[in-house]
């Protein structure tokens, strides 16, 4: 059997027959495998035993993903379109650090590059290709993005003012060493995360904190309200009754129960 370039492109880019589905499944296993290796390699006790194996596996994965990357460029009709697309960049970032670590001799820089190799966990984003159903969520989120951005701007304003206020009230002796630290604390508090690594100790600081918390409690409702009303609206669009087209004038948004076309007046039933 001779595999033409066209056939190969079909295997790589589609997933509707035996060969192309196998290609996708093998790729899925490779992605999960490489992520698993990255995670296990970060656990000191496991690396002590299997570090050498993980190094071999890493190069196997890198070689295979490089092959995939080269194939995709070669088989694309518009290679530039792929290279600069979101998944193209993800594919490149997933293999680049391994190669860079090969050419770096400076030991300090090498440590940084080694750390960056862990970034290959971003390969998980390649899974996005296989989850078509996430689209519904994405659409809802994208429709709310603009309002959520304004909301976050509003939150950042509160955070800046509250962080400064707490820096003035509590001061470095209670852990609020600078305005950025105060802002970090304000975000931790306003989002109700509340690590407790920095906490107010003066009565005035505790009073102001209480105000911030009640404020955060009240405004946490805002993004929820935005997304909820956005989703309810999208659901209504889907639930809405199918519209009827007039056979005479072609107006396409008539209601099923109408007796006459609202546009040209022809009788419809």
8 Å CB contact between 167 and 178: yes
User: Of these, 55, 63, 109, 214, which contacts its own copies (CB under 8 A)?
Assistant: 214
Should residue 262 be labelled a site residue for its own copies when binding is judged by CB under 8 A?
A: yes
* Separation CA 258–CA 269 (nearest Å): 9
CB of 43 to its own copies, least distance (A): 4
Q: Give alpha helix (H) positions in 118-199.
A: 134-170, 179-190
* Separation CA 98–CA 105 (nearest Å): 13
8 Å CB contact between 227 and 143: no
**Positions in 226-245 near its own copies (CB under 8 A):** 226-233, 235, 239, 245
8 Å CB contact between 187 and 160: no
**Positions in 42-81 near its own copies (CB under 8 A):** 42-44
**Positions in 138-157 near its own copies (CB under 8 A):** 140-141, 146-148, 150-155, 157
User: Of these, 224, 240, 242, 247, which contacts its own copies (CB under 8 A)?
Assistant: 224
* Separation CA 231–CA 81 (nearest Å): 33
Percent helix, strand, coil in the chain, to 5, is 75, 0, 25
Should residue 107 be labelled a site residue for its own copies when binding is judged by CB under 8 A?
A: no
Should residue 100 be labelled a site residue for its own copies when binding is judged by CB under 8 A?
A: no
Should residue 248 be labelled a site residue for its own copies when binding is judged by CB under 8 A?
A: no
CB of 75 to its own copies, least distance (A): 27
User: Measured from the CB atom, is 4 or 224 closer to its own copies?
Assistant: 224
């Amino acid at each position: 059997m001779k595999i033409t370039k066209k056939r190969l492109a079909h295997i790589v880019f589609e997933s509707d027959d035996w060969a192309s589905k196998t290609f996708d499944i093998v790729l899925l296993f490779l992605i999960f495998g490489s992520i698993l290796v990255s995670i296990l390699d970060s656990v000191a006790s496991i690396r002590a035993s299997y570090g050498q194996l993980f190094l071999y596996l890493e190069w196997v994965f890198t070689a295979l993903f490089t092959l995939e990357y080269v194939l995709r460029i070669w088989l694309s009709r518009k290679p530039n379109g792929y290279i600069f697309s979101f998944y193209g960049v993800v594919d490149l970032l997933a293999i680049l650090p391994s190669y860079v670590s090969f050419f770096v001799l400076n030991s300090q820089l090498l440590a940084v590059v080694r750390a960056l190799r862990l970034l290959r966990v971003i390969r998980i984003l390649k899974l996005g290709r296989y989850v078509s159903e996430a689209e519904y969520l994405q659409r809802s989120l994208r429709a709310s993005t603009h309002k959520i951005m304004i909301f976050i701007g509003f939150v950042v304003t509160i955070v800046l003012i509250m962080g400064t206020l707490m820096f003035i009230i509590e001061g470095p002796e209670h852990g609020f060493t600078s305005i950025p630290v105060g802002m970090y604390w304000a975000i931790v508090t306003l989002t109700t995360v509340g690590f407790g690594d920095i906490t107010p100790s003066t009565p005035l600081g505790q009073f102001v904190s209480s105000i911030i918390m009640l404020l955060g409690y009240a405004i946490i409702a805002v993004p929820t309200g935005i997304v909820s009303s956005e989703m309810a609206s999208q659901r209504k669009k889907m639930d809405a009754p199918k519209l009827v087209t007039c056979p005479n004038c072609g107006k396409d948004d008539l209601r099923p129960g109408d007796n006459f076309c609202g546009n040209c007046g022809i009788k419809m039933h």
